Structure 1
Amino acid sequence: MTATTVLTALGAVAIGLKTHPGGDPTSAPAPAADAGPSAGSPAPLSPPGAVDRGASAPITVTVRPHRDAECDQYVIDRPPSEVPRPPAVVDAPAWAAKVGAVPGHYQSIELTVQGTGSDTVVLTALNVRIARIAAPLAWNAYSMFEGCGGGMAVHSFDLDLDAARPRPVVTDGSTGLPLKVSERDPEVIEVTAQTTSHDVSWYLELEWSSGNRTGTLPIGVRDGAPFRTSAVKGRPLYRYPIGGRAWEPSPFQQ
């Protein structure tokens, strides 16, 4: 399918993330869309009412796998004999990077949003930008665990990546935006994206305001790279049984 780019019209603020060895993510500004000051030079002050494109956003965002990520699946271009056993949730990013794994069917993440100072920052909207759409990856699928389920965050969104115009939708029983954050009062936002038909690369975008400033800042992984999620329907599915020593075909083939 021809790659397309779709930006839902809701607004956005975003930051990219750097991942240290071991998979521990830390917040780091993503490259701004417009040319900014050279490294080491101070960021220019925004005039009243100006839209901040991310370089000096008064928030940080840390992305981690959702606490129930042990329920996730991955597609990997390797036979079962060459795939390590499932990792602990905290080690999932490093494990996935090591084997070239792509989240399969759905991808659950947590965004911890925190102000960088004492001023209150209002998070006003969450958007998605689709960077690329292609046919599903023709790789094997691997289930981290089976039969698991979990709770729902207070601020939780579902994202249908197969929709004509994908947009985050507040999960039933959850609370959406706006939210207020500061340095002492962070908030956690949960996003669960899903695709049954495509291989999708995508960003989240979060819109914020603080005083007379507003801004948008894209949220991705690994120095601003997009998230990526692929459908697994029809792919061979493997599981690693508790107490087992190797991957084996799952009885829950899709």
Structure 2
Amino acid sequence: MTAAAVLAALGAVALGLKTHPGGDPTSAPAPAAAAADVTPSGPTGAVDRGASAPITVTVRPHRDAECDKYVIDRPPSEVPRPPAVVDAPAWAAKVGAVPGHYLSLDLTVQGTGSDTVVLTALNVRIARIAAPLAWNAYSMFDGCGGGVGVHSFDLDLDAARPRPVVTGGSTGLPVKVSERDPEVIEVTAETTSHDVSWYLELEWSSGNRTGTLPIGLDDGAPFRTSAVKGRPLYRYPTDGKAWEPSPFQN
């Protein structure tokens, strides 16, 4: 499982670029103390909980991450200009940013050996729900857009029982992967009412083995997304030199 650290008690989310094999300690489930607070929001009846999963998962910001918003506990004068997508993790960590409204992820899944692995289902587990953060919101770009990937899911974090739903035009799962044939799964999680901490769980099967691989941040913490409705929204014009109030207030 991959991604970079969350700062200030999950106050900042920055997605990392490292890949951990199933046997790496960071790909194990969250520590027992944290797991006790996690509420399942999907089926999890698998045997293998990740320690020996025959797959690796690399988590990166989605290619349209320049469309994202962040909530930051700083005034505009103390927030650096928006970064390039590739530099977003370091930028977000530096300013203690939390993804606002939605978080878009690309999960690159690859087998660790010659055997074919079937990815059978994608689930979500909610670790924490709270009132949205009362911070300023910052838009990474003035406009955006993009197509739907082959394996794409939308995730409504405000639902009574959140679950990934196949995006229109996408084939979803199951899908086969191997060491030579990775697949990319796109996930867009959205909240308009809460501050939500959450994990993904990827169910797999290979031969007579089945299991579930938890996916979260690099240090074992969950992803985090906060609503931005009603928060002051700022943008950084393409040719500008400072943040300014966005004409598209939430």
Distance in 2 separating the partners of 1:100 and 1:180: 37
2:132 is aligned, of 128, 133, 136, to 136
For the pair 1:207 / 2:203, whether they are aligned, the reply is: yes
Once the two structures are superposed, the pairs formed by residues 1-254 of structure 1 within 5 Å of their partners are 16-17=1-2, 19=4, 24-28=16-20, 29-32=26-29, 51-254=47-250
Distance in 2 separating the partners of 1:53 and 1:233: 37
How far is the alpha carbon of 1:93 from its aligned partner?
A: 1.1
Q: SS of the counterpart of 2:196?
A: strand
Distance in 2 separating the partners of 1:71 and 1:86: 11
How far is the alpha carbon of 1:203 from its aligned partner?
A: 0.4
| Partner residue, 1:10 | none
Contact kept, 8 Å, 2:28 with 2:49, in 1: the verdict is no
Deviations 1:26-57 (A, max 9, x none): 1224234689xxxxxxxxxxxxxx82111110
Distance in 2 separating the partners of 1:32 and 1:229: 20
TM-score, structure 2 as length reference: 0.86
Distance in 1 separating the partners of 2:196 and 2:164: 15
Q: SS of the counterpart of 1:81?
A: helix
Q: SS of the counterpart of 1:25?
A: coil
Distance in 2 separating the partners of 1:18 and 1:156: 19
How far is the alpha carbon of 1:112 from its aligned partner?
A: 0.1
Aligned residue pair count: 224
Q: Which amino acid is the alignment partner of residue 64 of structure 1? A: R
Distance in 1 separating the partners of 2:175 and 2:162: 22
Q: Which amino acid is the alignment partner of residue 79 of structure 2? A: V
Unaligned runs of 5+ in 1: 1-15, 36-49
How far is the alpha carbon of 1:169 from its aligned partner?
A: 0.2
Distance in 1 separating the partners of 2:176 and 2:245: 46
| Partner residue, 1:40 | none
How far is the alpha carbon of 1:94 from its aligned partner?
A: 1.2
Distance in 1 separating the partners of 2:157 and 2:235: 25
